Amino acid sequence: MDDESSIFAKNSQIQNKEFSSLADLVVVIGGDGTLLGAARKYHKHDLPILGINMGSVGFLTEVTVNNFEDAIISILNGDYEVEERSLVSASFDGRIIHAVNEIVVHSGSYTQLMRYKLSANGNVVYEKRSDGLIISTTTGSTAYALSAGGPIVHPSIDAFTVLPMLSQSLSSRPFIISSDKSLSISLIGGSSDMGMICADGQDDISIPYLTDIKISRVKKTLKLIHLKNNDFFEACREKLGWSLDISNPK
């Protein structure tokens, strides 16, 4: 690296460190995945986030490119609301990972089961064999958890949804529990050498069997900027097709 490149890299690093203390608002342009990455990075600094939707769904990035200018003007005029969303954390082997949508513990291989025990506040909930387990926040109820058959939970409810993935038990059902509860997942065994854990669909982390994973709510919340006309049910109608007339698909 030449001297000029070295100076630029050093200045960029300084700017990144100072950004959180200088900024009042983080504007994220992209899809929900882009916003999730920014949320994990900046939520601990209490910086509110505004999402500009460039993706295909966009439950979190509600402002579109077409109404971006009007949205920014409204926000600068104070015509907005700040909504706080809870995050979920998983601690294991001296590590802690945070997620906006969900923590997923899985066997690490398609069509292969793992065995685990789930407890809540020290009380055993069940022991199962399945492909894995999803612990979803309210925010994540319209993401991967929805695809896995979980319920849609209104953002005003502070809870976790627990969903076994392709369980061997026919009586296996998702359930909702207060996020005040502390959950524990004990990995018992599986067909692979190790299990896997990931946050918000990011890179899988290998985790040895006979490891206990502690699941809990993150103390600091994610602050999302909404325009005052924001409506969760309108987003559901638009993104999930709730308003489609099945008698007239066109």
Percentage of the residues of the chain whose pLDDT score is greater than 90 = 55
Residue 53 is assigned to a structural domain of this protein:
yes
Given the DSSP bridges, would you call strands 194-199 and 63-64 parallel, antiparallel or unpaired?
unpaired
In this structure, the answer to whether residues 33 and 69 fall within a common structural domain is: yes
120 falls within a domain: yes
Give the HSE-up count for residue 128: Cα atoms under 13 Å, Cβ half-sphere. 26
Residue 9 pLDDT: 45
Q: Kindly state whether residues 105 and 66 are assigned to the same domain.
A: no
Range of the structural domain that residue 109 is part of: 88-217
The alpha carbons of the chain give a radius of gyration, in whole angstroms, of 20
Residue found by looking up tokens 């925010």 in the block: 139
Does residue 245 lie in a domain region? no
Average pLDDT, the chain: 87
Model confidence band, residue 220 (pLDDT cutoffs 50, 70, 90) = very high
Residues 227, 152 within the same domain: no
Question: Is 95 within a domain?
Answer: yes
- Residue for token digits 């502390």? 182
**pLDDT at 58 (0 to 100):** 76
86-117 pLDDT per residue, tens: 999 999 999 999 999 999 999 988 778 999 99
Closest CA to 166 of 125, 107, 209: 107
Contact 77, 227 (CB under 8 A): no
Both 199 and 146 in a single domain?
A: yes
CA–CA gap between residue 246 and residue 250 (Å, rounded): 9
For 119-147, the pLDDT digits (tens) are 999 999 999 999 999 999 999 999 999 99
Same domain, 93 and 174: yes
Domain assignment present for residue 250? The answer is no
Same-domain check for residues 65 and 96: no
Number of structural domains found in the chain? 2
Q: How far apart are the first and last CA of the chain?
A: 59
Q: Is the same domain home to 121 and 236?
A: no
Residue 249 within a domain: no
> Does the structure show a pLDDT above 60 at 172?
yes
Looking at the structure, do residues 132 and 201 belong to the same domain, yes or no?
Answer: yes
pLDDT of 5:
45
In a domain, 193, yes or no: yes
Which CATH number is 37's domain given?
Answer: 3.40.50.10330
- pLDDT score of 242 more than 80: yes
Per-residue confidence (pLDDT) for residue 17, from 0 to 100? 62
Kindly list the catalytic residues. 32
- CATH number, domain with residue 106: 2.60.200.30
pLDDT the model gives residue 244: 64
The answer on 47 and 16 residing in a single domain is: yes
The answer to whether residues 194 and 110 belong to one domain is yes
> 181 and 209 share a domain?
yes
pLDDT at 139: 95
Higher per-residue confidence, 216 vs 33: 216
Q: State whether 115 and 77 are in the same domain.
A: no
Q: How far apart are CA 72 and CA 79, in angstroms?
A: 10
